Amino acid sequence: MMRTKKSTRAAQYVALAAYLVFLAFPFLWLISTAFKPARELGSLDPTWIPKDPTLENFRQAFDEQPLLQAAGNSLVAAVSAALIAVVIATPMAYVMARHRTRLAKAATGWVVVSQAFPFVLIIIPLFLILKNLHLINSLLGLIMVYVVWSLPFALWMLVGYVRAVPAELEEAAAVDGASRVRTFVSVVAPLLAPGIVATAMFAFITAWNEFFFALVLLKTPEKQTLPVILNRFIGAEGVADLGPLAAAAFLATIPSLVIFAIIQKRITGGMLAGAVKA
Amino acid sequence: MRTAPRLLTAAATALALLLTGCSGDSGDDDGKITLQFQSLAWQKESVDANKALVEEWNATHPDVKVEYVQGSWDSVHDQLLTSFEGGEAPDIIHDASDDLADFAYGGYLADLGELLPDRLKSDIPKRSWQTTTFGGKVYGVPFLQEPRVLIANAKWLKKSGVRIPTPEKPWSWEEFRDVSEELGDGEDGKYGVAWPLKEPVSATLNLSLSTGGQMFHRGADGKVDVRFGEADEIMPRTVHDQVNDDKSASGTTLGMGGSDTLPGFFGGKYAMVPLGFSYRQQIVQQAPKGFDWQVLPAPAGSEGLAQGVSPQTLSVAEDSPHKKEAAEFIDFFLQPDNMVKLARGDWMLPTGKEALKDPALRTGKHDWAAGTALAEDLRSAPAQSVRGYPEWKDKVATPAFQEYYSGAIDLDELRERLVEDGNLVLARYQR
């Protein structure tokens, strides 16, 4: 194995640091803006650390919009969508990965193609279907949409993870007399855990951030999710109530960050597993 | 694998059918009518005013309940389109007149001509009704509007000794150019004016009305064509020359939105910024303590201070089963006193003649009076009823004006693109 030169290593660290700064910039700027008073937001010399930090933007954001209720709705929608998507996608992915028939290949192709459909193409028929089911302005309707929307990509991700699990392990289980179902539950599923977590995380983030479906399908403030509520801080011609918007947006990122922090190791493991070609 | 989506759909449908009873729309109970009113109010004072009026209505009209639904400006068009297509549109719809044409031609909005009382019809001037009238039918009630004004650094202007314009004696476009140059020519990073022209088309068309610029001309056959004559040239040429020849206007602000120019304005980089009247609220909130600002009328031309506006509107959905009651609510909502409350909440001008007389809108505080004095000169924005205008604006006019203002193309090239390319676009909509 070649030893990395010190200069190369240093350059790698510099590049990594630059990348991290690039990634962190919008978030740090968001935090900074959230704590700035209105007069500082209009300053010609922007500062990273607010000169006169204030919680007024947070007070105003909570005062003007039902943020906690919206966060609760987002959480219910995103967690439900993630769980249901994973429960449906996992066995489907197993079948698609292990049975390489023409049908499975066609299904994989369809999964890829389905990701190309723009929201506007499907929103009206979807709206009509949900209306007939009396599921407009209902979190249940939104969850169903999120599940269907995230399912193809979840399936695609999980197929990769299943293929990374050596088929020899299943053959050994079969030799020991385990049934298909038992093999899947006892042998394959535990090895898939990191991939399942990563997929659930993807479905969660997709639903947590989704705006357009929620906007169209949910009408009353009691049902609306965070992205829809955040949109209310923007007025005509894009004029924004910047301080409260930044405060509310900062709060909206916290659940995702917490969940990422908790399951980071599993995700990393899952991604590596999924990267291995069968 | 084809079975998977089917299974999914079947499972989802079964689940939904089981839970159908758990959700659903609130219908008319006990013979009482419920109207949905989707408001786009977004600033706290404005939302409070809207909600207070809805509560007042509900308290005095036990048989017709109005339900307040919050919408947002940023996404209203797509959201409404989907709701119309799905037959789930709110009964009373808050929007802007420049967004109504598509919905009106699409048959989604009710003709309010026979539904509105004479009081409201006569209170709002004809020129404002023109903003919501398409094909002889009225598809919305215009109730709030805002002129574009020059917001100026009062101290800077006073120190320079230039003549301060008034609505009675405004600057001509030529004088405006001279004054801008006198106030700052880019030396020491200070400019006479900062034009925020991220969206250059509506600003150009609306302000060009003052010089008689019309751009869109409707023939006897009803077809519209684009022309770019001498009257249309004055405003864009002034901006172009300020940026490229005089250096009295900052080139860097051309790509900015109005809010983006405020830090530079507060920081003493620009003496004047052309902005909508409602931007005063941001200035009051964000300006450094002691910052002295004032509202000036936009430059005038052969048509005086005329300029185009797209007022905020209230419409009734064609599908609404309670159009009469919806119109009654609109009449209540837009009583003169209520219009004043709404105008103050949004820092804009009411269209109603009675509301405009209110002392609260004629005060010198925050220069309300300076804006109110311009109300009579506000006209329907050109082209808002022209089919194909959105495509002309996005594909032809926006890039052409952006290039012209930045100096990349000259006036002849601008004219050629606006007219020749533009008429090709419009022709497709007028076959």
Instruction: Please name the member of A110, A133, A231 whose beta carbon is closest to the beta carbon of B16.
Output: A133
On average, the pLDDT of chain B sits at 91
Query: Residue range A241-260: average pLDDT?
Result: 88
Phi, psi of B407 (to 5 degrees): 95, 5
Cβ of A212 within 8 Å of Cβ of B75? The answer is: yes
What is the reported pLDDT for A89?
93
At residue A275 the predicted structure's pLDDT band, cuts being 50, 70 and 90, is very low
How many angstroms separate the Cα of B98 from the Cα of each of A40, A263, B15, B384? 34, 49, 42, 5
Residue indicated by tokens 């489907």: A92
Q: In whole angstroms, give the CA distance from residue B176 to residue B183.
A: 10
Distance (Å) from the alpha carbon of A70 to chain B's nearest alpha carbon: 14
| Residues of chain B neighbouring A120 (CB-CB closer than 8 A) | 78
Q: Do A231 and B20 touch (CB under 8 A)?
A: no
Residue B321 confidence class, pLDDT cut points 50, 70, 90: very high
- Distance CA(B179)–CA(B192), nearest Å, equals 8
Mean pLDDT is lowest, of A131-140, A184-193, B294-303, for A184-193
- Is there a contact between B12 and A147 if contact means CB atoms under 8 Å apart? yes
pLDDT score for B18 = 41
Q: For residue B29, what pLDDT band results from cuts at 50, 70 and 90?
A: low
> Do residue A44 and residue B264 have CB atoms under 8 angstroms apart?
yes
Give the per-residue pLDDT at A269. 54
Reply yes or no on whether the pLDDT at A154 is more than 80: yes
Name the closest residue on chain A to residue B81, using Cα atoms: A124
The answer, yes or no, to whether residue B94 has pLDDT greater than 50, is: yes
Q: Which residue of B has its CA nearest to A138?
A: B23
Q: State the pLDDT confidence band at B166, using cuts at 50, 70 and 90.
A: very high
Residue whose C-alpha is closest to residue B36's, from B64, B61, B62? B64
Q: Indicate whether B262 pLDDT > 70.
A: yes
pLDDT of residue A109: 79
CB B88 within 8 A of CB A131: yes
C-alpha B189/C-alpha A244 separation (Å) is: 32
Q: Are A160 and A151 in contact (CB under 8 A)?
A: no
Q: Are B13 and A43 a contacting pair at CB < 8 A?
A: no
Which helix (H) or strand (E) segment is B59 a member of?
helix B44-60
pLDDT tens, A181-219?
888 888 888 888 888 988 998 899 999 999 989 988 888
- With an 8 Å Cβ cutoff, are B88 and A212 in contact? no
CB contact under 8 A, B25 and A92: no
Nearest CA in chain B to A228: B72
Closest by CA to B301, choosing from B231, B242, B372, is B231
pLDDT score recorded for residue B4: 42
Q: B263–A221: do the CB atoms touch at under 8 Å?
A: no
Instruction: For the beta carbon of residue A264, count every other beta carbon within 10 angstroms.
Output: 11
Q: Is A2 helix (H, G, I), strand (E, B) or coil?
A: coil
Q: What does DSSP assign to residue A51?
A: S
pLDDT of residue A4: 67
Residue A32: pLDDT over 90: yes
Q: Do strands B33-39 and B92-96 pair parallel, antiparallel, or not at all (unpaired)?
A: parallel
Comparing CA positions, the residue from B356, B385, B355, B352 lying closest to residue B141 is B352
> A6 burial class (0-12, 13-18, 19+ CB within 10 angstroms)?
exposed
Residues of B in contact with A41 (CB under 8 A): 286
Cα separation values, A63 from A57, A230, B30, B51, Å:
10, 13, 35, 15
The letter for the amino acid at B154 is A
Which residue type is seen at B94?
Answer: H
The reported pLDDT for the residue numbered B73 is 87
Predicted confidence (pLDDT) at residue A114 exceeds the cutoff of 50: yes
Quote the CA–CA distance of B166 and B297 in Å, as a whole number. Answer: 7
Tell me the chain B residues in contact with residue A60 when contact means C-beta distances shorter than 8 Å. 44
Query: Does the pLDDT of residue B286 top 70, yes or no?
Result: yes
Per-residue model confidence (pLDDT) at position B60: 96
The CA angle A235-A239-A240, to the nearest 5 degrees, is 80
Query: Per mean pLDDT, which range of B29-43, B46-60, B226-240 is the poorest?
Result: B29-43
Q: CA–CA separation, B225 vs B425, rounded Å?
A: 10
* CA pair distance A249, A227, nearest whole angstrom: 9
Distance CA B400, CA B417 (A): 7
Residue B278 has pLDDT above 60, yes or no: yes
Q: At what angle do helices A139-164 and A189-209 cross, to 10 degrees?
A: 140
**Residues pairing with B145 in the sheet:** B349
DSSP 8-class letter at B302: T
Kindly report which listed range (A244-258, B17-31, B204-218) carries the lowest average pLDDT score: B17-31
In this prediction, residue B102 has a pLDDT band, given cuts at 50, 70 and 90, of: confident
Cβ–Cβ under 8 Å, residues A41 and A241: no
Q: Which residue has the higher pLDDT, B296 or A52?
A: B296
Query: Six-digit token pair at A273?
Result: 């597993």
* Separation between Cα atoms, residue B91 and residue B83, nearest integer Å: 11
- What is the SS3 string spanning B103-130? HHHCCCECCCCCCCCHHHHHHCCHHHHH
Are B17 and A133 an interchain contact pair (Cβ–Cβ within 8 Å)? yes
pLDDT of residue B151: 98
User: In angstroms, what CA-CA distances link B325 with A200, A219, B51?
Assistant: 48, 21, 18
Closest CA to B33 of B51, B50, B56, B58: B58
What are residue B35's phi and psi, to 5 degrees?
Answer: -110, 140
pLDDT beyond 60 at B113: yes
Range in B103-107, B359-363, B374-378 with the lowest mean pLDDT: B103-107
Decide if A51 contacts A37 (C-beta within 8 A).
no
Looking at residue B387, its pLDDT comes to 81
Contact A41 B286 (CB under 8 A): yes
Chain A residues inside the 8 Å CB shell of B86: 124, 127-128, 131, 136
Answer yes or no: is pLDDT of B145 > 80.
yes
Closest CB to B20: pick one of A96, A133, A228. Answer: A133
Percent of chain A topping pLDDT 70: 94
Residues of chain A in contact with residue B279, where contact means CB-CB under 8 angstroms, are 239
User: Residue B10: its pLDDT value, please?
Assistant: 43
The whole-angstrom separation of Cα A122 and Cα B167 is 51
How far apart are the CA of A10 and the nearest CA of chain B, in angstroms?
A: 38
Question: What contacts B199, CB < 8 A, 6 or more positions away?
Answer: A237, B257, B398
Residues forming beta bridges with residue A107, ordered by sequence position: none
Q: What is the DSSP string of B269-290?
A: SEEEEEEEGGGHHHHHHHSPTT
Tokens of B159: 């120190």
Q: Percent of chain B beyond pLDDT 90?
A: 78
Residue tagged 């200069």 (tokens): A7
ipTM of the complex model: 0.73
Amino acid at site A53: P
Could you list the beta-strand ranges (E) of chain A.
none
